[in-house]
Amino acid sequence: LTVPDRPIIPFIEGDGIGIDVTPVMKKVIDAAVEKAYAGKRQISWMEVYAGEKSTDVYPDGSGLPAETMEAIRDYVVSIKGPLTTPVGGGFRSLNVALRQKLDLYVCLRPVRYFTGTPSPVKHPEKTDMVIFRENSEDIYAGIEWAAGTPEVKKVIDFLTKEMNVENIRFPESSGIGIKPVSEDGTKRLVRRAIEYAIANDRESVTLVHKGNIMKFTEGAFKNWGYELAKEEFGAEPLDGGPWMKLKNPNTGRDIVIKDSIADAFLQQILLVPEEYDVVATLNLNGDYVSDALAAQVGGIGIAPGANLSDTVAMFEATHGTAPNIAGKDLANPSSVILSAEMMLRHLGWTEAADAVIKAMEGAIASGNVTGDLARLMDKPNQVGCKAFGEELIRQMG
């Protein structure tokens, strides 16, 4: 990625607490860039509209104007707050629509612990994982029909008469969803996960699946994952397999490629999180695993994320619009700030990203935190969203 010293970065403010957290994020990131590069580099923020805010500007009411899509595609790197899908706008979810239209097939969710963050587990510092969630397939593809519709009747007819599906309970009162999982969709995701493990000197990549039950979708995901590791990265069986290992060409260290069944995995990440590192998984598993892991290190209020295609990188807050606290200066801005930190690293602006991390460590240790964290701490000093941003800037020195 070639990055000018003053890149234009489109941002979507977001609905609900988007109006609280996004302006604070911009201030904190500007301060970190200034701290690191003393005016030599600067982000030129460009607001683009989506969700509720867009319907004032774009009368089509879809919540996802063409200009916004073009800006995200053309400027390559962007950031967004949470979005409400307008009722009657034509999309089931704006977030899913964005991911599908731009083919943002990776949902990247790093999970790390900042000392002092309240956590429900005894040793949250043992959790340090990076989740690669497949974002474009699986039951989230949106191919489904409601119970009692003519479509359901047709599908049941087809399955029973032409596909010989029998001996299972399958009344017309069933809702039906389709779960597509493809070889190329799986391999492009697992490739990104292994490339990440190599570039960041990580110890293992775990393929998380329910292949014991869903053999041709989740089981195939696992098999294709191992196959890719062997064919493209030269992985070899470990102790006779099925686990594999490959040599990191940069460091010479082994990277273990292993798999775990999703239900057992949810137990293991609580009991032995230190055994897992990079994780590659399907869309629905990834959704559950990402938020469950986020809770272990402080919750979705401080969990960052990004959606990636082969070219476009859209960084985003992982929480929703939190309408219960919107506009009240109560929200924790850390999720979108740490997403912006990932964005700085993606731009290669490592010094500015490091300044954000140092500030976050300092701010959390200071105990001056927003309500979501304060209510779980022994001696907190609850501050608002804006004041937390100021604390972060103060911590940069």
Residue 140 a catalytic site member: yes
Output the CA torsion sign for 287, 291, 292, 297: positive
What is the 8-class DSSP label of residue 217?
A: I
User: Nearest residue by C-beta to ligand NAD?
Assistant: 320
**52 lies in the binding site for ligand NAD (CB under 6 A):** no
Q: Which residue, 167 or 324, is less far from ligand NAD as judged by CB?
A: 324
CA distance 14 to 326: 11
Is 287 catalytic? The answer is yes
By CB under 6 A, residue 321 contacts ligand NAD: yes
Q: How far apart are CA 263 and CA 204, in angstroms?
A: 19
By CB under 6 A, which span of 4-12, 81-89, 263-271, 354-362 interacts with ligand NAD?
81-89
φ, ψ at 259 (rounded to 5°): -135, 160
Structure tokens at 36: 């690191």
Sign, Cα dihedral of 387, 388, 394, 396: negative
Tell the smallest beta-carbon distance from residue 335 to ligand NAD (Å).
Answer: 6
In the structure encoding, which two tokens stand for residue 26, read together? 């911009």
Q: For residues 35 and 8, what is the distance between their CA atoms, to the nearest angstrom? A: 19
- The residue from 82, 86, 89, 273 that contacts ligand NAD (CB under 6 A) is 82
Binders in 4-33 for ligand NAD, by CB under 6 A: 17
| 322 lines the binding site for ligand NAD (CB under 6 A) | yes
Residues in contact with ligand NAD, counted by CB under 6 A, come to a total of: 18
Query: Whole-angstrom Cα distance, residue 110 to residue 58?
Result: 34
What is the β-pairing status of strands 368-369 and 204-209?
unpaired
Q: Which is nearer to ligand NAD, 352 or 369 (CB)?
A: 369
Q: Minimum distance from CB of 82 to ligand NAD (Å)?
A: 4
354 is known as an active-site residue: no
Note whether 83 binds ligand NAD by CB under 6 A: yes
What is the footprint of ligand NAD within residues 326-385 (CB under 6 A)? 331-332, 335, 372
- Give residues with Cβ within 8 angstroms of 356, minimum separation 6: 28, 29, 32, 337, 338, 340, 341, 344, 392
Cβ at position 199, least distance to ligand NAD in Å: 26
**Cβ of residue 299: shortest distance to ligand NAD, in angstroms?**
7
Stretches 164-172, 257-265, 287-295, 324-332: which one binds ligand NAD (CB under 6 A)?
324-332
Q: Are 393 and 359 in contact (CB under 8 A)?
A: yes
Residues of span 284-303 touching ligand NAD by CB under 6 A? 300-301
Q: Which is nearer to ligand NAD, 248 or 296 (CB)?
A: 296
d(CA 363, CA 377): 14
Cβ pair 145, 174 in contact under 8 A: no
Task: Please choose, out of 60-68, 112-120, 212-220, 322-330, the segment that lies near ligand NAD by the rule CB under 6 A.
Answer: 322-330
- The reply on whether position 283 binds ligand NAD by CB under 6 A is no
Amino acid at residue number 311: T
Q: Least Å distance between CB 29 and ligand NAD?
A: 16
Q: Does 319 bind ligand NAD (CB under 6 A)?
A: yes
Q: How far apart are CA 357 and CA 216, in angstroms?
A: 42
Length of the chain: 397
Among residues 68, 78, 84, 117, the one that binds ligand NAD under rule CB under 6 A: 84
Confirm if 383 and 331 have CB atoms less than 8 A apart: no
Q: Tell me which residues touch ligand NAD (CB under 6 A).
A: 17, 82-84, 95, 300-301, 316, 319-322, 324-325, 331-332, 335, 372
